[in-house]
Amino acid sequence: MIFDGTNNFRAWRARVENELMRHGLLGYVLVQGYNGSQSFNYNSQLVEAKYPDGLRQFDTVKEAAEAMHIVQCSLHEGIEAAVLNKNVFGVWSTLRALYESGKDSTIAEKYRVLDHMWYGDKEGEPMDEFITRWGMVVREFMDVTGVKLTDSYLSAMFEHALPRKWRSTVASWRGSRPFIPVTELKEKAIAEEKLRRNSSDPAKKSVPANARNKSLSSQPRENTTSKSFRDLSSARTVREEFCFYCFKGNHTFPQCKYLRNDINTGNTHNNRSQFSCRVTEKRTSAMLQELEAYVTEKKTPTAHRLSVPREGTKRKREIDLTQDECPRAHVDERTSFSRRAITKRVPRWQICEIP
């Protein structure tokens, strides 16, 4: 079970604690400075010290690293970025403070709002206005949780809010660094948004009137119309191209390999699968209707056309049988009737009796 901030934290915590207890490493997430000589409570039971004299420093660091490995393997990369540069006890304490919302149900709600914010959810909103709106939600989330979010976590959350088309650009900004400082990331995002808007806005590419008239007179009118329509259509579909099934960019659901595999295995409506056809917070009912129509079309078997014998074939076969039945039919050259005339006017049984 991978925890991504939206699923049940209590169930995930119980599974990870059970796994740590199986390996004798639970004390590292519950007791600060644990070295095996401390006792602690687990499920209302006292767990005595494993090593009364304590472990050596090397063994303590090794077991703490094993406990950290178990925790990290069950975290989403976005959540893992929020707890960088912490020991295993600090990671566990931070996660409990952020997501253990039994005392305040608004924590999960604020995180859900922050997680589902993305640039472009408001039509025509500039990048600087989106950054202001995103920062207000972040401050509300920190006020509710009472935890100051690290710069690495904020950077990962802001990268998640950027368009999928920008992923290669953001990767070039990051380089070999583990993350981009959030202030630098915001500045680069504003500059990138202005650059893309200027390159796609035809008003910025205005030319003098004389040159424009010459170009219009020298080129056919239909070419200019098709070019402008092509520019508008490409600008319109820059952010609309994503898959309704797996929500990944650079392809639509007819090209989705996950949907194709689930159609072949019959798991398109299996809620336990990684992806399934159901309404979620990201998948609207309109998206679901398109998916259902596509799945139904792919599942319908192709109707085979019944083969109907052609009349010409049957007629040709009768003629061949007629010729085969009368191998001895012969007409003397001296007679005035041709064979064709005989086959037309005389029945077949009489033709066979010609001497």
What does the DSSP assignment read for 244-303? TTT--BSS-GGG-HHHHHHHHHT-TT-TTSSS-SS--SSS-HHHHHHHHHHHHHHHSPPP
Are 184 and 191 spatial neighbours (Cβ–Cβ below 8 Å)? Answer: no
N- to C-terminal Cα separation, the chain: 96
Say if residue 26's pLDDT is above 50. yes
Of all residues in the chain, what percent carry a pLDDT higher than 90?
3
Mean pLDDT of the chain: 73
Lowest mean pLDDT across 172-176, 244-248, 249-253, 325-329: 325-329
Say if residue 262's pLDDT is above 70. yes
12-25 tens-digit pLDDT: 888 999 999 889 88
Residue range 119-144: average pLDDT?
Answer: 83
Residue range 223-227: average pLDDT?
Answer: 45
**Biggest CA-to-CA distance, the chain:** 131
pTM for the complete prediction?
A: 0.35
Pick the residue with more confidence: 157 or 241?
157
Which two tokens mark 253?
Answer: 């659901």
Are 125 and 132 spatial neighbours (Cβ–Cβ below 8 Å)? Answer: no
Burial of 220 by CB count in 10 Å (0-12 exposed, 13-18 middle, 19+ buried)? exposed
Residue range 3-30: average pLDDT?
Answer: 86
Pick the residue with more confidence: 22 or 227?
22
Whole-number Å distance between alpha carbons of 202 and 228: 9
Per DSSP, helices labelled H in 41-165 are: 57-72, 77-80, 88-99, 106-115, 127-145, 151-161
321-338 tens-digit pLDDT: 444 444 444 444 444 444
Three-class secondary structure of residue 82 per DSSP: helix
Whole-number Å distance between alpha carbons of 316 and 319: 5
Are 153 and 147 spatial neighbours (Cβ–Cβ below 8 Å)? Answer: no
36-83 tens-digit pLDDT: 888 888 887 888 888 888 888 898 899 999 999 999 888 888 777 777
pLDDT for residue 324: 47
pLDDT for residue 348: 57
Residue range 310-328: average pLDDT?
Answer: 48
Say if residue 104's pLDDT is above 80. no
pLDDT for residue 70: 92
Q: How confident is the model at residue 265 (pLDDT cuts 50, 70, 90)?
A: confident
Highest mean pLDDT among 18-27, 89-98, 135-144: 18-27
Are 29 and 100 spatial neighbours (Cβ–Cβ below 8 Å)? Answer: no
Measured CA distances, 248 to 271, 309, 316, 334 (Å): 19, 51, 61, 89
Query: How big is the chain by its Cα radius of gyration, in Å?
Result: 38
pLDDT for residue 69: 92
Say if residue 316's pLDDT is above 60. no
Lowest mean pLDDT across 243-257, 294-308, 318-332: 318-332
Pick the residue with more confidence: 282 or 268?
268
Which two tokens mark 57?
Answer: 């420093």
Q: How confident is the model at residue 105 (pLDDT cuts 50, 70, 90)?
A: low
Whole-number Å distance between alpha carbons of 105 and 262: 35
Residue range 228-249: average pLDDT?
Answer: 57
173-211 tens-digit pLDDT: 888 888 889 899 999 889 988 888 887 665 544 445 454
Q: How confident is the model at residue 236 (pLDDT cuts 50, 70, 90)?
A: very low
pLDDT for residue 65: 92
pLDDT for residue 298: 81
Which has the closest alpha carbon to 140: 117, 119, 162, 160? 117
pLDDT for residue 241: 64
